[in-house]
Amino acid sequence: MKIAIVGAGAIGGFLGNRLAQAGEDVTAIARGATAEALRRFGWRMDSGGVRITTPAKVETDAAKVGAQDVVIVAVKGPAMAEVAPTLRPLMRDDTAVVTAMNGIPWWFAHHLPALGGARPLESVDPGGRIIDAIPAAHIIGCVVHMAASVSEPGVVRHALGQQYIIGEASGVATPRLARIADAFRGAQLDVVVSPAIHRDIWYKLWGNMTMNPVSALTGATMDRILDDPLTYRFCLSVMAEAAAIGRAIGCPVEQSGEDRQKITRSLGAVRTSMLQDVEAGRPLEIDALLSSVREIGGRMGIATPELDALTGLVRLKARTLGLYPPAADDAR
DSSP of 260-325: HHHHHHHT-S---HHHHHHHHTPPP-HIIIIIHHHHHHHHTT---HHHHHHHHHHHHHHHHTT-SP
> By CB neighbour count within 10 A (0-12 exposed, 13-18 middle, 19+ buried), where does 263 fall?
exposed
DSSP of 163-213: EEEEEETT----HHHHHHHHHHHHTT-EEEE-S-HHHHHHHHHHHHTTHHH
Output the CA–CA distances (angstroms, integers) from residue 174 to 23, 140, 161, 195, in the order listed: 23, 10, 26, 11
Distance (Å, whole) CA 175 – CA 12: 23
Q: In 3D, which of 18, 21, 10 has the Cα closest to residue 154? A: 10
Distance (Å, whole) CA 166 – CA 182: 11
> Which of 2, 64, 76, 204 does the annotation list as catalytic?
204
Cβ atoms of 23 and 160 closer than 8 Å? no
User: Is the four-CA dihedral 52, 98, 263, 274 of positive or negative sign?
Assistant: positive
204 is catalytic: yes
Q: Which residues are catalytic?
A: 204
